[in-house]
Structure 1
């Protein structure tokens, strides 16, 4: 599925890879933004269960610095890395029946106890960075947001706004 269609950014599927043409990457988003023009207002249609955290952060940052107004339309779901992307909107619209989910980042390691401890520290640092993004958008303290992330919290449209 193309990422740029009819003047809109359409982010459907897995964040960070284009498995069977059902996902999108930060590179594709940057290419679409260049085609759209940096000063033009932008509508982003988002429907994703998530994917790679750093890809989500890269897309968030690309949209966050876009000079035109960015409106995020959550068509059904913005979960995990996709919820981070949603935070880049100057305006976020959650459509009827849509949901948003935030949680602590996850990963896997193979190796010694020391390697697992390093991975834990890296995930903890990434979780704190993501909490800062959610906190900045919501106006909530990052420590409070981090606990909500650790609880893996699902929000309806109304709950997300609150």
Structure 2
């Protein structure tokens, strides 16, 4: 029996997954994939990808779990495999792409603040991150690191036939030659500002007396404006939203 694993929506952290579930926004975190692999227990798995990308570290974790899996892993890119999701796609023993699907690779980005020394350090961190990410593409395609880093810097979009030409995939599904199609990526990640507000204002999600329809509506009314405004701004950008460092919970998130 083949086990199905969906990598759909943004790639997020385990501790943010419950927030996406609240909003009924499809997303993928490492623990979901790990649970499916444990369930498969060595049986063949097929990973279906349609994702605009997300956090670098979580994408790397999912990639590593799939590469370490003892059974056969087939990846099918059914929509978009962009950014961190493109890294995950490289984990397949066999990678297929729909003739209407696309892959996108680009440099990592992050939100940061500080003086000029902090900015220089941030730039170096991003360079190191790009050189870590590129290894997944090198292993799969056989292209040189230098050439792939150039394609990442240029933000390269690949249709099915180009992905096959570059050896990012092994096969185009349903047909021998892919047609050229165009579309745009519209990531739907919840802005960090909203996530932090939810955590601070509604921390005990496990208490059944706290999570009721009435107080959930009240809470969502409070955060609705922030959520809609932030999401609108992020969706107007061509790439994933850059993460921010907040005073309430200092953190650095690489968006890829």
> Which runs of no fewer than 5 residues in structure 1 stay unpaired?
1-5
**Structure 2 unaligned runs (5+)?**
166-256
Paired residues in the alignment total: 156
RMSD: 1.2
SS at match of 2:9: strand
The answer to whether 1:36 aligns with 2:32 is no
Distance in 2, Cα, partners of 1:7 & 1:85:
17
Mapping 1:20-35, distance limit 5 Å = 20=23, 21-35=25-39
The list of structure 1 runs, each at least 4 consecutive aligned residues, that deviate by more than 3 angstroms after superposition, is none
**Secondary structure of 1:14's aligned partner:** coil
TM-score by length of 1: 0.92
**Which of residues 110, 113, 127 in structure 1 aligns to 2:113?**
110
Counterpart among 96, 113, 129 of residue 126 in structure 1 = 129
Comparing 55-64 with 115-124, greater Cα deviation is found at 115-124
| Cross-structure match for 2:143 | 140
- Secondary structure of residue in 1 paired with 2:108: coil
Alpha-carbon deviation of 1:96? 2.3
TM-score, scaled to structure 2? 0.59
Distance in 2 (CA, whole Å) between partners of 1:25 and 1:117 is 31
Q: Specify which structure has the bigger relative contact order, considering alpha-carbon pairs within 8 angstroms and separated by 6 or more residues.
A: 2
Greater alpha carbon shift after TM alignment, 107-116 vs 57-66: 107-116
Higher strand proportion: 1
Do structure 1's residue 76 and structure 2's residue 62 form an aligned pair?
Answer: no
Indicate the residue corresponding to 2:8 in structure 1: 12
